[in-house]
Every structure is written in C-alpha cells, then in structure tokens.
Amino acid sequence: MTWADFVLLFAAGIGGGLAGSIAGLASVSTYPALLMVGLPPVTANVTNTAALVFNTFGSVRGSLPELAGQGPQLKRLVPMGALGGLAGAVLLLSIPSEGFENAVPILLAVAAVAIALPRGKDTGVAPTLARTILRAVIVGVICVYGGFFGAAAGVLLLALFLRTGGTTLAHANATKNVVLGASNGTAAVVFAIVAPVHWPAVAAMGVGCLIGSRLGPIVVRHAPATPLRLLIAVAGLALAVKLGLDTYH
C-alpha cells in the first residue's frame, strides 16, 4: 500500500463513520475504497467489517444522551445482534468467493433502496410480548446479513427501530449503533482469527471511522437526516449499477 492509499482509506473512514453513524450505510464509502486500493472482494469485505468496529466506539460515545434508559431493551437486542454477526461471518467463510462477488451488486442495490425508505411513525401502541420477540428475531436476521456483508445492515436496523420502537430518529439511531456494534464486533473477531483481514488498511480506515462516527450522532441530534439519507441512497444505487456491469459482463 502506498501513502496515497492510506490517505484514501483514512478519508473514506471519516466519510463512512459519519454516514454510518447517521444513516447506517458506512460501507457505501468504505467498501469501494478498499476495492480501489486493490483488495479482492472477500478480503475487502472482512477488512471493512474489522475497520467498522471503530465506528462503534465513536458512535456510541456520541449517542450517550439518547442511550439513557435504553438498558432493558439493549439487554434483549445486543445478544441477538452478536449471534447474528457470528452466523453471518461463518456463512461468508463457507461459500465460494465467486458467489460473494456475484451477490455484491444485488446487496448494494438492496442497501440503496432500504436507506431511501421513509421513517416510520409512532403508533402509540405498547409492544406485546409476541411483538417484542418478533422484533428481536428480526434484529438477529438483519445482523446475520450484517456479518455476511456490512452494507445496509445499519439502515435496516434503523428502519426497524423507527417503525417498532416509537422513538425519535436520534434515539433509534443510538440503539442501532449499539446493536450493529455487537454484530460487527463478533464478526470481526471471527475474521481476525480465520479470514484474510488486511490490517494496515484496518488501521488507516479505522482511525477515520473513529473520527467520523464521533461526529455523526451530533449531526443527527441537530439536523434533519432525510436529504443526506437520500443522497447516500443515490450514491449506493449508482455504485451497485457500476459493480453489476463490471461483474456480469
């Protein structure tokens, strides 16, 4: 890796940390940057997951005001996130690399559509036991996807929490940051042991992620996120089209 590569990854980490902690789509910035410096898709994916662990530290630290009082629900959701991340990591390492490469454009397109969806509204209905269990199961399924391919897992979690928790965007975002951190952290541990993580790239990108993710919750707290969310969705869809053309032709 050259110094230019390190600078690119650092800048992509800042963008990814900011976008991830605001809209849950850090990988639209970070994953393509890893491809640009020459990493193969599977190596780029596992390296990306390891680097995004730094997002957790910054985003959770920035979300502390919104996390106050969320202890009971986080005790239910964090274990599901961790188990989902573990299952996704095992799934990624169990399929041929060609299968993952062919799936990337589709996964990114799903990410772009997911981030463009409008937020849900508070219905004022208290959650039943069945609804609470279903919510936890859905979190686990999303985190399986997150452990397999990081892009858009945060967006899907954010959409789920907005539609089922009756919370503000800032509070749902804080919940997402913690649960996604558990998923990414578990998957990163697996990848660190048995996968081809590129550690110099993790270092360069991770520092950028830490900076960007610390600022993200502040932005969410004080500014409307819809324009940024739609901008990231357009960028993600454009990237999915490009990678699709490169992959299928």
Each domain of the chain, given as residue ranges in start order, spans 3-248
pTM: 0.79
Query: Worst-scoring range by mean pLDDT, 22-31, 165-174, 216-225?
Result: 216-225
pLDDT > 80? residue 137: yes
d(CA 131, CA 114): 22
Q: Report pLDDT for 163.
A: 74
DSSP readout, 76-134? HHHHHHHHHHHHHHHHHHHS-HHHHHHHHHHHHHHHHHHHHSPP-----PPPPHHHHHH
Backbone angles phi, psi at 167, to 5 degrees: -105, 170
Q: Report pLDDT for 5.
A: 94
Q: What angle do CA 143, 148, 154 make, to 5 degrees?
A: 40
Q: Report pLDDT for 98.
A: 65
